[in-house]
Structure 1
Amino acid sequence: MSLEISYKRILRGPCMKLAFSLIYKSEQPLSIPQVGQGQFDIDDLVDIRLQFDQKIPATKPTTTYSTKPPLPVTVNISTKKTDRGKDVTVKFKVLCTKTKIVKQFICTDTWTDWVELGKGQLTFKDPCYTLDDIEVLFTVTKSGAVSFADLYDDTDIIDFNLSLEDNKVPVHKACLAAHSNKFKNMFTSVWKDINEGCVEIKGATHQTLQYIKDYMYLGRLPDVDVRPMLLFAIQYSMSNLKADCITKLVETVEFYSLYSLLEFACENNIPELTFALMLHTSAEMVHNAYEMKKNPPLEEPLPDA
């Protein structure tokens, strides 16, 4: 007996929300894992397909049920880049809102092996087993493949500094030019600071500059508020850093900080951040933010430092 799978798909820019339901009219396990009909593409960058594997547990459940015990089901995922995404690095993120499972992938040009996305239970509702709507949010981002990890600790061929008063963060010109069009243009023109092997950065802290270096060389963002890094990315035309900062801000926003983040986007003329919040923020979070603004607490939680 086959597993009946139904989908409801909602596209929102580089995101896809997929709700699926399962109906199973047998007590016997599937003889082989069943692949859901069809495949889905997201922003013409990634193709995905789902697989459902249902097995009866080897041991009898210890819980006593008033009806038939639930049957476990595992959801697996396989992805590949589309033709449009083959010349860029495509990152793929999956969030199951019900189970809070978050997984991230780097997509390849061919179908990946099946990777477990999560587990659920088919519950018996006469005359069949069902799994009610499970919503999964898929998000894709693309970036150029730039890596300078091997040079992070290098001191022999360092040829530039990001300067802030008495503090300096040593970097390589090639790394700056690869990440920033503005620095690239500086290095090919007559620029006093550039010729002296440094550029003075105003309006940033030494810690922020160190985070910028970590991102350029290692591709990682810190677990702190990245708004100062976003402003730096805009000032120095660092498109990948800008996109990744916006993604992190949207993914980590809470209802109590939503209003201030929107204010930040408007004050600094960052329509991409505003639009990303429109795409990703749930109706529940918007309502909670509205209620808090209407009845503010005595002390508003502070963002991460």
Structure 2
Amino acid sequence: MKPTTNPFHPDLQRAARLLPNVTVTRPVLAVVRFLGRFQRKPRVPVDVAVEVEDVRVPGPAGAPPVRVRTYRPRSVQGPTPALLWIHGGGYIVGQPEQDDVLCLELARELGILVASVDYRLAPEHPFPAPLEDCYAALRWLFSQAGTLGILPERIAIGGASAGGGLTAALAQLAHDREDVRPVFQLLVYPMLDDRTTTRTDIDGTNHRAWNQGSNVFGWRSYLGREPGGAQVPVHAVPARREDLSGLPPAWLGVGTCDLFHDEDLVYARRLEAAGVPCDVVVVPGAFHGFDIITRGARVARDFRGAFTAALRRALFPAPGAAEQAKAG
């Protein structure tokens, strides 16, 4: 009998074996949201190095204010760069609190202001509500840069999973509206293409945390229609955009056992072809959300280190880097 090869990274094999294969449906969504209520602490995290504050900022026209959770290093003097962070959750679940640890780390390690947006969720609030909430938060960062003590020319956007999809869509929306210009987009295993739901060639055996059934439910909820159709609204599905030129430089990371692996790499190649620099990190044997589920694993720490370094390069460019890039 021939030995079988484990498809997962050695650091992730135990977690992959223990993770249940759950497809998100309306009943499952209700349970997940109920349990998520206990994640929102009555008090902000206590961190001697970082001040955490919840603020309400003006929402889109005719919509309620948007809650933004800010993380500010206490020791930093003078204006700093900033990151608008967008949490994941398949467009249907999630809140800024789930990424407290990550946002605290980024603020502390990079010495930047991190602002995590609490956007409205589908299916109750389908497109464009979540994206418009993110845009409202981004506009607030730019308009209040002086008061917040941040550098408007050094504001990046980033997110994971559906948050990565919203990040990519936000970069496109900001480009088209020509009102605010983020300097960089951080795409952590982003949810970019509803057409993946129609693929019949995908073997989901090695997928964890987010499978094809959940993907269909998430996209259907967000779009308010069956995903994978001939047409979708502009800015609803980042991968559907034909012209990607003029967008901010990007970093994209994904694992080989992630449902989004193929769509992510296609998008990265299209960015490069359009003249948009895009650094790509592919983690062999990593499943969706591995850096959160197995936070202490070496492969997870290395992955976070890679995108933290990318943020540092984008927000703290070396002297003459811009001129060298233009010359190259």
TM-score class, shorter-chain normalisation, is under 0.3
TM-score (norm 2): 0.24
Largest Rg, 1 or 2? 1
Q: TM-score, normalised by structure 1?
A: 0.25
Whichever structure has more strand as a proportion of its residues is: 1
User: RCO (CA 8 Å, sep 6+): is it higher in 1 or 2?
Assistant: 2
